[in-house]
Amino acid sequence: MTHFFGRIAKLPNIAGRIYRNVFGKGKLPAIDRSKDYSHNLATLLGFEDPAFIELLRLYITIHSDHEGGNVSAHTGKLVGSALSDPFLAYAAALNGLAGPLHGLANQEVLLWLRKMQSKIGEDASDEAVKEYVWSTLKGGQVVPGYGHAVLRKTDPRYAAQREFALKHLPDDKLFKLVGQIYNIVPDILLEVCRSFIYFVSLLKYPCFVGWQGQEPLAEC
């Protein structure tokens, strides 16, 4: 177990080494023990912009909330409960992130947003966004990022990321589109689900990964 925790402690260095090898950012700097985890990880990746460090700090904080109930956390505990090697339990947890209803959801949402932009333009009207959302639903698909199995209101982690974006990139085209969706989609889902009273409070609000990409309906 001691060896396992030692390897976990080295993950930021490993991530930094891989990133720098891929993107040609040179040698790894030394860990600065006077700085926090997020600052050091950002530096290892080759970023020194204070805004990026703040974003990484927010990102890591809201993801550390997943201590027990989601796919990866549950899988790691389940495999570990069989007294499997900790490395195998950790690997199983990471593999749980690969599905589109969990870790891959970020990419799924980003793809949906980019597809929408390519179809209706970067400065689309609210009406154009509504039409695209309706076409998604009528095509038998969900609106990525909306719906949560527990929360009955907007995920506070989503709100934290929205606040960050309002502060640092208020004019970003993708941010504006997500803001339009935030204002438009709940009423559409309310109309779709009005016959299913129990589900209305589950489905109409955005889940937490609103800026990295939002998770699919009812599977946050």
Band of the pLDDT at 220, cuts 50, 70, 90?
A: very low
- For residue 58, the enclosing domain spans 2-96
pLDDT at 100 over 90: no
The number of domains in the chain is: 2
pLDDT for 113 beyond 50: yes
29 shares its domain with 114: no
CA distance 84 to 90: 10
Kindly state the average pLDDT of the residues 82-101: 89
Q: Please give the residue that has the higher pLDDT: either 140 or 3.
A: 140
- Among residues 96, 114, 137, the one where a domain terminates is 96
- Residue-averaged pLDDT of the chain: 82
Taking the CA atoms of the chain, what radius of gyration do you get in angstroms?
Answer: 20
214 within some domain: no
Confidence (pLDDT) at 203 = 47
Residues 181 and 125 in one domain: yes
Predicted pLDDT of residue 211: 46
Mean pLDDT of the 121-145 span: 91
Give per-residue pLDDT as tens, 175-219.
999 999 989 988 888 887 764 544 444 444 565 444 444 333 333
With 0-12 / 13-18 / 19 or more C-beta atoms within 10 angstroms meaning exposed / middle / buried, residue 217 is buried
Examine residue 151 and state whether it is found in any structural domain, yes or no.
Answer: yes
Residue 219 lies in a domain: no
* pLDDT at position 150: 66
What's residue 57's pLDDT? 93
- 95 or 67, greater pLDDT: 95
Share of the chain above pLDDT 70, in %: 83
pLDDT above 90 (res 127): yes
Q: 92 and 10 in one domain?
A: yes
pLDDT band at 149 (very low <50, low <70, confident <90, very high): low
At residue 81 the predicted structure's pLDDT band, cuts being 50, 70 and 90, is very high
Is residue 30 pLDDT above 50, yes or no?
yes
